[in-house]
Structure 1
Amino acid sequence: MDNIGTRGMTPVVSKTLAIGLATLYIAGMTTALLGGVVPSYETRAGGEMSERVLATATTEIERAPPAVGGTVETRTTVTLPETIANDGYQLVLSNGTDTLTLIHPDENIERETRLSLPSTVTPRNSTVDGGTVVITVSGPPANRTLALGGEP
């Protein structure tokens, strides 16, 4: 009689051990991926995305000033991603340095580039969140101002 009860328990114990080992393996792999591999991949992908966003914004800003005589008031709308690596970001246009900076909560994703604008165009210090960006150029041919703004 003792043998019959022991044989019935062996499959239950082996299945329980197999389930426990599988659970430990899945938990270990999840911890390893979420603790190291995935965050570094997100940072690299976010860095590449920020470079593309900055390049797109820079290209549109540099193309915005019209090459026409007379006083102008133009608006160019650029649609950029609202987030990079699941966080919001800002584009900062600086007058003193003629730079466009992408500010992000993760400093590894932040980028900056120098703008190539005509000497008659002065950038106005402005900050805009990612998403829809409006580039405004206004003024006479010898003294035009370029600024960034949000949705019109």
Structure 2
Amino acid sequence: MSNPAQKSFPVSWDQFHRDSRALAWRLTSLGTFDAIVAITRGGLVPAAIVARELNIRVVESVAVKSYDHQSQGGVKVLKPISEQILDLAKNGGKILIVDDLVDTGATARAVREMLPGAHFATVYAKPKGREMVDTFITEVSQDTWIFFPWDLDVTYVAPISGGTD
């Protein structure tokens, strides 16, 4: 988080679990999915929760690296989606793609090209990438940096007044 004007949105494990379950609830109206594709790494946790809640046993992953705004802005596929899932999609299977966040939409766009008919769901969405997802729980502003629970550690925080206790 290099820009001091950015807003920070720390998410606890409890909140992330609740938000992921809320995503599962929202998806129940869409019927049964044949498989989930989690976008690694951030999509692994919500995909596991959604898979449990919706009783989806086939869970696949795709590893995509998005380069930040300081690099080329490109996307590199580190691990593609298995042929089994691609064949399932081609033969009419109902596939759910899950990620923790859609930010600029670059990763989402790349995965959508791999599975154009899949339903794309994220826990959080930012305005630049929002059009790339079908379902999400919470929208945050583009200048908000989400601190996921796996990025945080419990540590001492000085009082607001600047005192030491």
Q: Which TM class, normalised by the smaller chain length?
A: under 0.3
Return the TM-score normalized by structure 1: 0.27
Bigger share in helix: 1
Largest Rg, 1 or 2: 1
Return the TM-score normalized by structure 2: 0.25
Work out which structure has the larger RCO, using CA pairs closer than 8 Å and 6 or more positions apart in sequence: 2
